[in-house]
Structure 1
Amino acid sequence: MMKIITARVILGLVVLGLCSCNAIKSTTTNNSSQTTSQNDVQTQPPIKIAGSSSSITVLKVLTEAYQAQNKTAKVEFISHSQSEGAIAALKNDIVDIAGSSHKLKPEEDNGKIQYRELAQDLLVVFTHNSVKGVTNLTTNQLKSIYAGKITNWQELGGPNAQIVVLDRPEDESAKKLLRKYYLGQDKTTTKAVILNKEGELIDTLQSTPYSIGAFSLAYSAINQLPVNRLKLNGIEPNKDNFTNGKYQMVRHLGVIWHKAPTPTTQKFIDFIFSSEGHKLLQDKNFIPSN
């Protein structure tokens, strides 16, 4: 009888020991899994993006939405005022994605990168909110302002105040479009204030009474800027008038990335060209490309 009791005690201790070992093993495995998961999050490389000043807005809109869905996703923006600088950074593996306001040129293509248009963004002429009574300009009036032939808003039905022309460098997409559709090749007044980045022009226009300049409709709408949007030749700059061909001054914004991207970069690219990304761009006053 005593032997039977002893055997049962020993068996119970063995079973208890096995259970304890399994519990310790399970806890160790769970902790290891959690540590691995945390390490994966910490070591996940960021997506590095460079873009022209005109393409950064659309890329930041998409990035915010993407990160809202992918909490561990990390994105870093590297500033470039021109598309050429962003494309050079991509080719030199400094960034994973380049935003551009022009299609990839043959001389920029090294055979390892690819371009796809993302959206169109209307370029609109705005004035500081101190300019009352001027809501429309004809082509001749706009040309005369930029050439320095019309220098006072009173000549256009506005306040008795000197016009402050805010402009971009000749090689920037905004100035190229203004010349293509309205300004022609007339020389710009030497009194114009030249600003290298679109963000600088936007900030300066908001803080400078009686100023005029051209920048992104989408940026204005997204940030609800307190500025005056002008019609040109009686045409309201909006998506409907772009669609029907009445308003044509738009920038074509695209992205460029490596033909063999990292999985992290490819996941982001898939998102920005998805139906969800398409709808987001529409909601933010961009015109998504098909």
Structure 2
Amino acid sequence: MKSFLASLAAVLLLAVPLAARAGTVTVKGSDTMVILGQRWAEDFMKKNPNTRLQVTGGGSGTGFAALINGTTDIGMSSRPIKDAEKQKLGTLPNAAVTEVSVAKDGVTFYVHEKNPVQALTVEQLKGIYLGDITNWKEVGGPDAPIVVYSRENSSGTYVFVKDNVLDGEDFVSSAQTLPGTAAVVNAVAKEKNGIGYGGAAYAKGIKELSIKKGQEAIAPSAENIKSGKYPLARDLYFYLRARPSGELKAFIDYALSADGQATATKVGYFPVK
């Protein structure tokens, strides 16, 4: 009987939002979104000093895992939820999985500032990341081996590139896996033959490649990403295990407000409205 009651208490505890249990709203997941989530949290707490927000990264997959095991209120993700994740969340007590698009981004491929290559097609990027293209001279660059940087498989950006650039195929085994977009940018900034990818907001100290489509080279600019013209534009999401209310709803409403979307623009992302 004690064991049964303990199990029942654990289930009921998971059904209660963390904010209601601890007086703190927790936000976890996408490394792409960490900078933005932290800025939103800082601004929101200035306007609402009685609310405390904790924002941490770890990757989109980590955010979904935290939602499933009840250790975060909001899961940040740079990719849509997978069917398996949605199914797991849907089996939890009182679950009503909620998806909120909070900003737009463009997955950008980075090269060293001195790399003469300005644009690549999606097929060329696929060739590089599958290991079929190994030298920059094959795509109009210098005669030098391509050093490939990638993200870990818990990253939403990793999943996005695998699905939308590699057509579901696996990354070349020689790709160097790094723990966050900032680490990818830092590596490419130091390696003149490197290539990496991540969110547009992180593209500092390196060169962003345009995507060639026919005769046109499409830059990851604000206009092209907001309009969807840039081929690798995407939405960024908040996910919740129930419909938001109280502090959770107030925070999401702020993120979607004119002030919140202006913050997204300042940080380097793009508004959804």
TM-score in terms of structure 2 length? 0.74
- Partner secondary structure for residue 158 of structure 1: coil
Q: In the alignment, which of 222, 226, 234 is matched to residue 205 of structure 2?
A: 226
Q: 1:149 to 1:60 in 2, by over 3 A?
A: same
Q: 1:276 to 1:151 in 2, by over 3 A?
A: same
Deviations 1:31-72 (A, max 9, x none): xxxxxxxxxxxxx93322211223323212312322343455
- Please, which of 192, 196, 211 is the counterpart of residue 175 of structure 2? 192
Matched with 2:5 is none
Secondary structure of 1:102 counterpart: coil
Q: How many residues align?
A: 241
CA distance in 2, matches of 1:155, 1:100: 35
Name the Cα RMSD after superposition: 2.9
Q: Percent identity?
A: 25
Instruction: With the length of structure 1 as denominator, give the TM-score of the two structures.
Output: 0.70
Shift of 1:228: 0.6
Q: Which aligned runs of 4 or more in structure 1 are off by greater than 6 angstroms?
A: none
**Any idea what SS the aligned residue of 2:183 has?**
helix
Deviations 1:73-98 (A, max 9, x none): 43223443233x32332344422222
Q: Which runs of 5+ in 2 are unaligned?
A: 1-21
Point out the structure with max Rg over C-alpha: 1
Give yes or no for contact 1:50–1:99 (8 Å, CA) kept in 2: yes
From 167, 173, 176, give the equivalent of 2:156: 173
Q: Is 1:267 aligned to residue 250 of structure 2?
A: yes
| CA pair 48-143 structure 1, distance change in 2 beyond 3 A | closer
- Aligned partner (choices 89, 111, 119) of residue 66 of structure 2: 89
2:23 equivalent in structure 1: 45
Structure with greater helix percent: 1
* AA partner of residue 78 (structure 2): S
Show the counterpart of 1:164.
Answer: 147
Compared with structure 1, are the counterparts of its residues 87 and 70 closer, same or farther at alpha carbon in structure 2 (3 Å cutoff)?
Answer: same
Output the amino acid matched with 1:98.
G
Pick closer, same or farther for the CA change 1:67–1:187 going to 2, 3 Å.
closer
User: Per-residue CA shift, 1:104-146, capped at 9, x if unaligned?
Assistant: 4431233255221111211011112242x11111234323322
Q: Which residues in structure 2 correspond to 1:97-116 (within 5 Å)?
A: 97-104=74-81, 105=83, 106-107=86-87, 108-109=89-90, 110=92, 111-116=95-100
The structural deviation recorded for 1:262 is: 6.9
Are the counterparts in 2 of residues 130 and 210 from structure 1 also a CA contact under 8 Å? no
